[in-house]
Structure 1
């Protein structure tokens, strides 16, 4: 069977309508939008384009379903998630192929994302039955204090195109575990992974109205009225800091609970005592995951002057050897970037740095089309003030700057409005602990290039956002703390 036959067969199984109150239905007015393959730029399917009316219907459904869903037994909620985990693992190849078609990442990497995405389903299936509280005696010995947790209520999720499956499960799983209903607005560039996941949740027994999915090209028109609706209790957004700021302003009117996972500008520090084999492998992993289109991607390589030349040359040699191509083709290391504006932005940042005096050891150029490919690039001698050191590079580009002291490295690392992830390569354990406290980031990888784990709290500080996804902390975002004061039971 050819790949194309596999792809056509798979695409035939994916629902492309809206999911509202357990029913797959076309958009009001019947509008659709095209989904394109970034490897060719050609559209291969069309998805229902939700209107403001559809958004309102989705929230109505979530509000109607909330009371019954919130009082469902925790074990029952956990079992649905566990069943979804098992089924996603069984169908991992289908999910991976679908993601590669719509998003471009190589199949091996897409499979990795499916396993990571599924892990949130398994993790929160276990957390559903661990929602606890406490009963204590008041300090004066009289009254009793009972603290318990309840589901926040209907949630709105807005997810990004770069990890279309993991960003969906990372929000849906804790909400399901906590007993919240949801309206989900998947990314217009990559809506199919979310729609396919919603089908799977339905097959696993998630009741009608608990998860509603409204893909749309008019995000503001659909989500704006929902954020302004007093019945919505929570907004979780993953995307750019610029959009996050706007959503926070909108959310302020209803004093909505918010989780914001925003932009990053991750530093990767290589010290003079680093294991360079480990550092080069770690840098490749931290830089090239998803072709560099990750908010956790190493954006700036900050390397000790004594090892900078060797590190740069080894990194350039490894990046130069990578093959670019369609993600479904065997041997492809680097897929296309998501669309033409994204590729143009990457090239603009590289060109700005080179114009200021940076040198490209490898790459630095567009790859002839079709498809939105960019050659993996290593830049050295990048001068301070280059845009590439301040702005998020959503592409396979590694700018390298040097330092001489630990204090200088920390200052360079922290010289950004962002604070999501950071990476450090050193053999000195005490230094690793110091940097965990002095580098301003929500997450730090020590001698590791990939740090995301469903069992750990993912999130940032500064302008990288607020709230955490994953870990024991992840479910707290979907629970309200309630307190019951009980009169002294021994009072006569």
Structure 2
């Protein structure tokens, strides 16, 4: 670990590359952010910016593997660096836990304001390292910042309770206190929002943090670290360390005795591994893991709204969201008309670079994602699914681009029915009764989100109560906001983020019995 007052940025010389839209614009944006201080490539430990001799490349998935796809060389920190960060977070915690909710509310409000002031730059960084269109990235910053606003309002309301005792001379106090230093592990698909909804709750409760961002998208996390410094956060409260060695870092966060809680968003497989590693210290955990969201269109649905909702839910960020519709169940009586309208609207979309104002959808993140998309399409078609739209790679645009794809007559014998695609493929399945729809929807080991469209109020309550997921959108394909308890059931994890419940996962309840009181 090397301390440094400055950071090492990749030298970007536009003259070295052809001035096509993609290459010129991507490189130019990095050089011309309104706030160049947002672009960091080191790490942030105990209020200091540091660098490492080891680095890894961050690339633009829309341009990869062209040489001009390289955005920066980012420091890769080791387990020993994480040990230093954990110790800093632990030392800082003993003072930070004593601060008032009002003080922490001010810190979070400052961070919210700074995110809004730098929204355009933060969105551009997301576009370049993630690939999503600018409008989506701009919306992510709005969503991400809202968690700091929400938890600034909740931080003064971390309340305990007074419980009547069976003993007339005693009183029972239930104190809610911050749990301690927290490890935060986040994915690449929402590089800002996946951090803020964890960090906001942790800070509101009085906890300190050590954050491991995804190696695909560390620049957004480092920009947030910079803003936390500008917002006045005490040293050691926010520590951010990029690393190319995710497995080793996850292990140390789970096994280190000074880390009292780990919050992670990722796959179910990774969640199970982290849970096993945390058993040695019986660490408190909250996991938001894989999903396989059903999207049900009942025969009494408003078809046009259902089509719009399906497109918004399924293809946001090219299908790379944990709560996107993964299996679309359409009632027989509406199936043909739904397909016609669905395919017609999707055919008007535009694949391209996220900074092009005409672009509606960007690339998948990397070749591993592309391979899964291709595998699901090929398996489904081989087993009888009909290719209704798309189905091909778009290497003429870039190696990570794939057409928005619709598959018809998908059945449970196909891989795409049981596995989360995390890509731009919508599988459509027919059903003929409410019971069949619920049975198909619940035929999965995970249960993060679900959606359905119906105008029958009785059916709405029946389906909502019987759908085995943690979150449901009824007559809407958009459910995420800071006020909603975000989380799943079954193998989609446990714990809730956002909402008034979000802080509870970062606290413990301590019982204090006061005895010998006179009546």
Shift of 1:138: 1.1
Deviates more, 1:281-290 or 1:140-149: 140-149
Any idea what the Cα deviations from partners look like across 1:78-121, whole Å, max 9, x if unmatched?
10101111111111111111100100000011111100000000
Match of 2:233 in 1: 206
Match of 2:58 in 1: 35
Match of 2:87 in 1: 60
Match of 2:478 in 1: 450
1:168 to 195, 205, 211: 195
Match of 2:48 in 1: 23
Match of 1:274 in 2: 301
Runs (4+) off by over 6 Å: none
Any idea what the Cα deviations from partners look like across 1:364-396, whole Å, max 9, x if unmatched?
111114241110011101132100000001111
- Conserved 8 A contact 1:356-1:386: yes
Shift of 1:5: 2.8
Match of 1:9 in 2: 32
Question: Counterparts of 1:259 and 1:417 in 2: how far apart (Å)?
Answer: 18
Match of 1:325 in 2: 352
2:448 to 413, 416, 420: 420
Shift of 1:7: 2.8
Match of 1:51 in 2: 78
Question: Counterparts of 1:246 and 1:171 in 2: how far apart (Å)?
Answer: 20
Gaps of 5+ in 2: 1-20
- The alignment's TM-score, normalised by the length of structure 1, stands at 0.97
Question: Counterparts of 2:44 and 2:298 in 1: how far apart (Å)?
Answer: 51
Question: Counterparts of 1:186 and 1:44 in 2: how far apart (Å)?
Answer: 17
Task: Tell me the secondary structure at the aligned position of residue 502 of structure 2.
Answer: helix
Question: Counterparts of 1:147 and 1:384 in 2: how far apart (Å)?
Answer: 49
* 1:288 correspondence with 2:307: no
Any idea what the Cα deviations from partners look like across 1:421-480, whole Å, max 9, x if unmatched?
000101111111111110000000000001011011000000000000000000001010
* 1:376 correspondence with 2:401: no
Any idea what the Cα deviations from partners look like across 1:294-336, whole Å, max 9, x if unmatched?
1101000011000011111211111121100001001101101
- Conserved 8 A contact 2:292-2:446: yes
Shift of 1:12: 4.7
What aligned pairs does 1:225-264 form with structure 2 within 5 A after superposition? 225-264=252-291
Any idea what the Cα deviations from partners look like across 1:147-189, whole Å, max 9, x if unmatched?
1111000100000000000001011001011110111000000
* 1:78 correspondence with 2:140: no
* 1:102 correspondence with 2:129: yes
Task: Tell me the secondary structure at the aligned position of residue 477 of structure 1.
Answer: helix
- Conserved 8 A contact 1:144-1:488: no
Kindly tell me the number of residue pairs found equivalent between the two proteins. Answer: 489
Match of 2:340 in 1: 313
Deviates more, 1:461-470 or 1:83-92: 83-92
Shift of 1:230: 1.3
Task: Tell me the secondary structure at the aligned position of residue 469 of structure 2.
Answer: coil
- The alignment's TM-score, normalised by the length of structure 2, stands at 0.92
Question: Counterparts of 1:256 and 1:433 in 2: how far apart (Å)?
Answer: 37
Question: Counterparts of 1:44 and 1:194 in 2: how far apart (Å)?
Answer: 15
2:464 to 421, 431, 436: 436
Shift of 1:36: 0.5
Match of 2:387 in 1: 360
